[in-house]
Amino acid sequence: MKVAIYGLGAIGGLIGARLAMAGCEVTAVARGATLSALQRHGLRLDDGPDGGGRPGAATQPGPSAIPLRAVADACELGVQDLVIIAVKATQLEAVAAGIAPLIGPETLIMTAMNGVPWWFFDDPSAPHAGLRLPSLDPAGALRRAIPLARTIGCVVHLAATCPEPGRVRRTFGNRLLVGAAVAGPTAGRDRIVARLVQAGFDAVSSDAIRTDIWYKLWGNMTFNPVSVLTGATADRILGDPQVRGLCLAAMAEAAAIGEHIGCRIVQTGEERLEVARQLGAFKTSMLQDAESGRALEIDALVTVAHEIGRAVAVPTPMIDALLGLIRLHGQMHGLYPVGM
C-alpha cells in the first residue's frame, strides 16, 4: 500500500512510522525543520515503554530510525492508495491547495485530527445534513479538493509528542476508531483498519464515527482552552473545584448539542473527568502548541461547538465564554488571527 502522510507531526509521524515498519510504502509532505530533519536522517520513533503492542518493541534500546521519503511538494509523490491528513486544523488551507496530485480515482483519504472535521454534516443520512461550518471551511476549498465518498475519519485515542523535528515519542494510549464520512460500502474503511492493526494499533471499525468525534470533543473542548489560559496540567485543572465546575457546565452544553445532532453522550461529565484524572499530569495538545509558539486550534475545538449550538438553538453560555477568552488570549499572544 502506498501511503502519503500530510503533516508528519506527533500523530502523523507515529502512524506513518508504524505503517512503514509494517511494510507500507510511506512518504510524507512536510516543510521547514521537519522536512530538513526527515531528509537528513529519516523519522526517529520512540514508541513508549510498552512498545504500543508491537511484538518485541519493548526490548528496543532507543528510538528506531525509519527511512522514508519526504518532500515539500506533493507533485513529487504522485497518486497514492491512502492519504492521511494529520495536520493541525490551522494548516488545512495549505492541504486543500496542494493535495490534488496525491488523489486518484481509488485513493482513500483519512483525517486524523483534533476536533470536528469540515465534513461532519455532509452525510445525507445524518441529522442536520448539509449544515455548513464557516469556521472550518469558509470558502468550500476542502470540499472541492477532497472527495467526500472516499473520506475516512479517524478518532485518535492516544498521545504522542515531537521532542524535536523528525522525532516522535508515543506517551500513552494506542486506540484508533475509524469510520467513513458518508454511510455506504465499508471495504475501504476495513482495509485501512486491517493495515493499522497490522502496524500495532488497537484500531477498530466504527459505524458511528460522528458520535466518536463528538465524544472526544466533549472531553477535550474544555481542557484545551483552560490549560492554555491557566498554564495548568490536567491534574491541576481537575483539582480546582471552580475550574472543574466550569468544565462540567460547558460539557453539559456540548452534551445537549449532541442530543440534537444525533451524537448522544451516554457518560456523565464526572465519569469523563475521572478518565482524564487517571492519565495524570499531562499537558493538552493546545498547551503544547501555545508553549511552542504555534497557532492554536481554537476553531475546530471551540468555535465549532459555538457555531453548532447556535444552528440547533442550544444555549451555550459557558462555551461562548471559553471561546471569547481563549480567542482573545490567542490574539494577544500572536497565536490566533486578529479579527476572527
Tell me the pLDDT tens digit for each residue of 126-168.
Answer: 999 999 999 999 889 999 999 999 999 999 999 888 888 899 9
- Model confidence band, residue 101 (pLDDT cutoffs 50, 70, 90): very high
Amino acid found at 118: W
276: pLDDT confidence band, cut at 50, 70 and 90? Answer: confident
**Where does 18-76 show beta strands of DSSP type E?**
25-29, 43-46, 64-66, 69-71
Q: Strands, E, within 31-104: which ranges?
A: 43-46, 64-66, 69-71, 82-85
> Per CATH, which fold does 212-332 belong to?
N-(1-d-carboxylethyl)-l-norvaline Dehydrogenase; domain 2 (1.10.1040)
Over residues 218-246, mean pLDDT: 95
d(CA 245, CA 178) in angstroms, rounded, equals: 32
Query: If we measure between CA atoms, which residue out of 98, 192, 183 comes closest to residue 154?
Result: 192
User: Is a pLDDT exceeding 50 seen at residue 61?
Assistant: no
Say how many residues make up the chain: 340
Per-residue pLDDT tens digits for 304-336: 999 999 999 999 999 999 999 999 999 999 999
Cell 500572536 belongs to residue = 334
Helix 304-311 × helix 241-260 angle, to 10°: 50
- Mean per-residue pLDDT of the chain: 92
pTM (2 d.p.): 0.92
Residue appearing with cell numbers 492508495: 81
User: Which of 139, 117, 131, 91 lies closest to 307, judged by CA?
Assistant: 131
From the list 2, 88, 216, 283, the catalytic residue is 216
Residue boundaries of the structural domains of the chain: 2-207, 212-332
Beta-carbon contacts of residue 153 (< 8 Å; ≥ 6 apart): 110, 111, 117, 119, 178, 179, 180, 181, 209, 210, 212, 213
Q: Which run of H or E residues covers position 245?
A: helix 241-260
Q: Would you call 88 a catalytic residue per the annotation?
A: no
Residue the block writes with cell 484508533: 176
Task: Give the CATH class of 2-207.
Answer: alpha beta
The DSSP call for residue 84 is E
